Amino acid sequence: MTDQASLLLRKQLKELTKNPVEGFSAGLNDDSNLFEWAVTVLGPPDTLYEGGFFNAILKFPPDYPQSPPDCRFTSAMWHPNVFPDGRVCISILHAPGFDPLNPQESAAEKWSPVHTVESIVLSIISMLSSPNDESPANIDAAKEWRENRAEFRKKVARIVRRSQEEL
């Protein structure tokens, strides 16, 4: 399985290097490890995150693409769908099958081997554009998103500024 995963990851890396996608950059965190990628997501235009440069790590399992990678922001992030430790919580990163913690997710919303690094990161960008406070990973951020949008905006503006300073 690891050989198949390595071949696929190498192919996806080559494709992204040859044809970069607007909104993010991705590459190996360490040239000797195809299974850990460094990603920088640009805050999407016309969102609270606009202007930000948010770093994340994508860790791929040995049986990729049969199983989804893990994604964790290493930059500060204040968002209902990002755990306080930076782990991203979106449906396409959830393994197929029934999950008692997320019974509302349909199989079609979960991980499928057709996903690529590009589709994963574009889904993360979409998540930044449209927070889902119905099944939050960060309860405090979701509560603030619903009840105190002004304070939520202030916190996001701080992390956007901090991300710019870290460049």
Report the amino acid identity of residue 128. L
Q: What's the angle, vertex CA 78, arms to CA 112 and CA 71, rounded to 5?
A: 30
For helices 2-18 and 117-129, give the axis angle rounded to 10 degrees: 60
Residue 110's pLDDT band (boundaries 50, 70, 90)? confident
Q: Considering 34, 77, 89, 142, which one is annotated as catalytic?
A: 89
Integer Cα distance of 103 and 67 in angstroms: 19
CATH architecture of 2-165: Roll (3.10)
Task: List the domain boundaries for the chain.
Answer: 2-165
Pair 78, 156: CB distance under 8 Å: yes
- Residue 166 in tokens: 């870290």
Does residue 89 carry a catalytic annotation?
Answer: yes
Residue range 117-166, pLDDT digits in tens: 999 999 999 999 999 998 899 999 999 999 999 999 999 999 999 999 99
Q: What is the pTM of this model?
A: 0.91
pLDDT at res. 1: 64
Q: Is residue 102 over pLDDT 90?
A: no
